[in-house]
Amino acid sequence: MKLRVSAVLFDLDGTLVDSAPDLAGAANEMRLNRGLPPLPLELLRVHAGSGARGMLAAALQVLPGQPGYVDLRDEFHDRYEQRLLRETRLFDAIGPLLDALGRHGLPWGIVTNKALRFAEPLAQALGLLPRAAALVGGDSTAHTKPHPAPLLEAARRLGLPPQACVYVGDDLRDMHASRAAAMGALAAAWGYLGVDPPIHEWGADVVLAEPNDLLRSLGLA
- Tell me the backbone φ, ψ of residue 108, rounded to 5 degrees: -140, 155
Among candidate residues 11, 18, 22, 171, the one labeled active-site is: 11
CB contact at 8 A, 109 and 10: yes
Among candidate residues 13, 170, 171, 213, the one labeled active-site is: 13
How many CA atoms lie within 13 Å of 164's alpha carbon, on the beta-carbon side? Answer: 12
CB contact at 8 A, 133 and 109: yes
11 noted as active-site residue: yes
Residue 212 CA to chain centroid, in angstroms?
18
Residue 60 CA to chain centroid, in angstroms?
23
13 noted as active-site residue: yes
Q: What letter would DSSP give residue 37?
A: P
- Tell me the backbone φ, ψ of residue 178, rounded to 5 degrees: -60, -45
Q: For residue 10, what is the enclosing H or E element?
A: strand 7-10
Catalytic residues: 11, 13
